[in-house]
Amino acid sequence: MPFSLMKRFDISVLMTDELRAFLQGAHPDPFRILGPHRLRDDVLVRVFRPDAREVSIKLDNNGSIVPAEKIQGDGL
């Protein structure tokens, strides 16, 4: 999705209840958490891969590969 079309909202911090619901498979809108999201003038990408040793993100604008950082022990 082009950056210019992405919806603006601040998701820099996940609420504990929202994260718990997601991890239990009970979140009503998992893509509110997952995928690319606008964060001010940047893009934040969240991926849930509990089985992955590493995750990389390929940037559309120049093809660079950026290693993702694991922020949550359950695979987020």
Tokens of 36: 């690319």
* 51 within a domain of the structure (yes/no): yes
Q: Which domain covers residue 32, as residue numbers?
A: 3-67
First-to-last alpha carbon distance for the chain, in angstroms, is: 21
* 72 within a domain of the structure (yes/no): no
Position 19 pLDDT exceeds 90 = no
- Give the pLDDT band of residue 65 (cuts 50, 70, 90): very high
* 57 within a domain of the structure (yes/no): yes
* 73 within a domain of the structure (yes/no): no
What's the mean per-residue pLDDT of the chain?
81
* 28 within a domain of the structure (yes/no): yes
Number of structural domains, the chain?
Answer: 1
In a 3-state reduction of DSSP, which class is residue 67?
Answer: strand
